[in-house]
Amino acid sequence: MSDTPSQIAPTGTAASEMTPAECGQKLKELFPALFGADKPLPLKLRIQADIQERAPGVFTKAVLSAFLRRHTGSYAYLIGLTKATQRFDLDGQPAGDLTDEHRQAASDELKRRRSVKEAQREEQEQAIRQRAGLLRDFERTTLTQANFCALKGIAPEALEGLLAQARQDRIDHPELLAPKRPATGPGRKPGGPRRPDGQARADRSDRPDRRGNGRPDRPRQDQARQAAAPKKD
């Protein structure tokens, strides 16, 4: 008996009509040890040639390439790549070491994506705050709509849409639009009294005793005078 894996005959959807999602489902059915794992396993290099050899005619090159690009570019696959040391073949068996270079490339790509996502989030939050400011100004203005739009540099036909979105933002993102509490600054004790100039009042326990300002207290002064007075016989 030959140890060479047997070929799989084409079945089901025609290869030319298969979508990347259908391709992934078919790969799970044909090679569950590799594509059916709970977490994506690092693929053996040139795995596409192995798939075409084991399942000739089942997948077109274009469909298989599209699926593999999406599969190996997913967050789950990249995260797994940063932690793995081995690649795996269609039977789920180790098929070569994973190089430090490939692990680092996966790590760099994850960092790049997180950076892009963070920049997008900040941009979205800024847009929400700008719309909120526009709505506040519109609710307070005494200008006509045309003059208000001219002042803000907004096309009149775009105003209603921006205001409607700003009203929805109040519902969807209250945490971004809540008034900010003043921060506790230097010289101010949290919850303590504050002078008109913003400086905190000094703690009375830190003040020097008034009797230490160069004027002795009355009892000590009287005792000194009595000691200096001449004694009567």
Q: What is the pLDDT of residues 220-231, one digit of tens each?
A: 556 656 665 555
* Alpha-carbon span 151 to 125, nearest angstrom: 23
What is the per-residue pLDDT across 118-153, written as a single tens digit (0 to 9) for each?
999 999 999 999 999 999 999 999 999 999 999 999
- The pLDDT tens digits for 70-112 are 999 999 999 999 999 999 999 999 999 999 999 999 999 999 9
Model confidence band, residue 215 (pLDDT cutoffs 50, 70, 90): low
The beta-carbon contacts of 100-106 under 8 Å, at least 24 apart in sequence, are 106/78, 106/79, 106/81, 106/82
pLDDT at 2 over 50: no
Q: What is the per-residue pLDDT across 45-55, written as a single tens digit (0 to 9) for each?
A: 999 999 999 99
What percentage of the chain has pLDDT greater than the value 90?
64
pTM: 0.60
Assign 179 a pLDDT band (cuts: 50, 70, 90): confident
Find out whether 96 and 49 touch, Cβ atoms under 8 Å: no
Rounded mean pLDDT, 161-182: 87
Predicted local distance difference test score (pLDDT) of residue 228: 58
List phi, psi (to 5°) of 9: -75, 145
pLDDT for residue 52: 94
Mean pLDDT, the chain, integer: 82
User: What pLDDT score was predicted for residue 231?
Assistant: 57
Range 57-82 average pLDDT: 94
Tokens of 94: 């180790």
Residue 1 — pLDDT band, cuts 50, 70, 90?
Answer: very low
* Distance (Å, whole) CA 82 – CA 105: 9
pLDDT at position 56: 92
Nearest CA among 207, 132, 213 for reference residue 174: 132
